[in-house]
């Protein structure tokens, strides 16, 4: 059997009711929500399970909600004896990966991502920045389009998710123009994203700086599991690099496709997406159809994953 990677959901995967079955059926999961609530000063389980979509979509709520749900599910995998050889997470999901590697304490992570969400939301005034997904163009085409609209304003690649899916971010006017040019260049689909700021672009530098200050008070321990970084698409070799990578990650492109390819090259043939939604599973199928891609967001998908893993072992 090859290696197993746990990959963790990022922002955008949130929905009302996420984590409900784990919270209600497993003491270990409930405990994670309670620990998070203590740090945050409000009932995060209630927000995840009963909160409105509008409430959950506020970045400073989204980030601790997804992190807590992901770690609550991770606890059950530990209980079932399912272990990863390597971990990674998309953007916000990288914090869940660091918790899984035991280099970042869960309580520290919850507090950090709430502040990260707040700083990201505040970095760019509402309406000044936006993001768009470009489907069906390659990286060079999209880079050229971003270059062509530079006179209007900032436009940069923020996510390289999977073949044919690239996300751009920047100033609203330049992104709208880049969307037009992408359609003219033959993009199959161009979708403006419902986000509060142009994440993973240079416009997020104020958030990056504030996060850097915050990270000075955080203890990073030795990594017990290899973590693949969004910024480098390579392993975090030294715990002393974690803070710098997390600081850069807010304003640099997320190299997700390359991160997955790196893990496959090193023998990973089974990926388990942990947390709300199954977006990463979809990306994986576009990156390499030969690998097994599973996800766990509720008890049904947990049982399905366990069955599949048993099949692979047999």
- Among 196, 200, 293, 301, the active-site one is 200
Show Cβ contacts of residue 230 under 8 Å, excluding neighbours closer than 6 positions: 88, 89, 90, 91, 94, 245, 249, 252, 254, 255, 256, 259
CA torsion sign, 86 to 261 to 310 to 74?
positive
- Among 9, 29, 37, 91, the active-site one is 91
- 226 phi/psi in degrees, rounded to 5: -65, 135
Question: Can 70 be counted among the known catalytic residues?
Answer: no
Cα of 156 vs its chain's centroid, Å: 19
Distances (CA, A) of 251 to 25, 259, 293: 38, 17, 29
From the list 262, 275, 287, 242, the residue with the least C-alpha distance to 86 is 262
Q: Are strands 165-171 and 129-135 parallel, antiparallel or unpaired?
A: antiparallel
Task: Give the Cβ contact number of residue 59 at 10 Å.
Answer: 21
Question: Can 96 be counted among the known catalytic residues?
Answer: no
Residues designated catalytic: 91, 200
């Amino acid at each position: 059997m090859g290696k197993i990677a746990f990959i963790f959901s990022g922002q955008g995967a949130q929905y009302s009711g996420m984590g409900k079955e784990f919270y209600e059926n497993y003491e270990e999961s409930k405990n994670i929500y309670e620990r998070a609530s203590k740090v945050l000063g409000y009932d995060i389980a209630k927000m995840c399970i009963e909160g409105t979509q509008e409430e959950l979509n506020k970045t400073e709520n989204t980030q601790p909600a997804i992190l807590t749900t992901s770690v609550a599910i991770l606890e059950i995998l530990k209980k079932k004896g399912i272990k990863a050889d390597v971990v990674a997470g998309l953007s916000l999901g990288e914090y869940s990966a660091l918790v899984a590697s035991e280099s970042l304490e869960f309580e520290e992570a919850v507090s950090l991502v709430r502040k990260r969400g707040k700083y990201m939301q505040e970095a760019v005034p509402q309406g000044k920045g936006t993001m768009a997904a470009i489907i069906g163009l390659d990286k060079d085409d999209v880079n050229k389009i971003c270059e062509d609209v530079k006179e209007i304003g900032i436009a940069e690649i923020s996510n390289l998710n999977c073949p044919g899916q690239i996300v751009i971010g920047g100033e609203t006017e330049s992104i709208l123009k880049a969307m037009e040019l992408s359609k003219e260049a033959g993009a199959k689909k161009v979708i403006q994203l419902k986000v509060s700021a142009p994440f993973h672009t240079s416009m997020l530098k104020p958030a990056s700086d504030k996060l850097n200050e915050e990270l000075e008070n955080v203890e990073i321990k030795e990594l017990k599991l290899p973590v693949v970084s969004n910024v480098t698409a390579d392993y975090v070799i030294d715990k002393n690099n974690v803070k710098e990578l997390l600081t850069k990650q807010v304003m640099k492109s997320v190299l997700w496709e390359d991160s997955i390819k790196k893990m496959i090259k090193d023998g990973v043939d089974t990926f388990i997406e942990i947390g709300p939604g199954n977006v990463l599973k979809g990306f994986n199928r576009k990156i390499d159809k030969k690998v097994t891609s599973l996800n766990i967001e509720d008890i049904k998908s947990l049982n399905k994953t366990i069955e599949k893993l048993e099949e692979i072992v047999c």
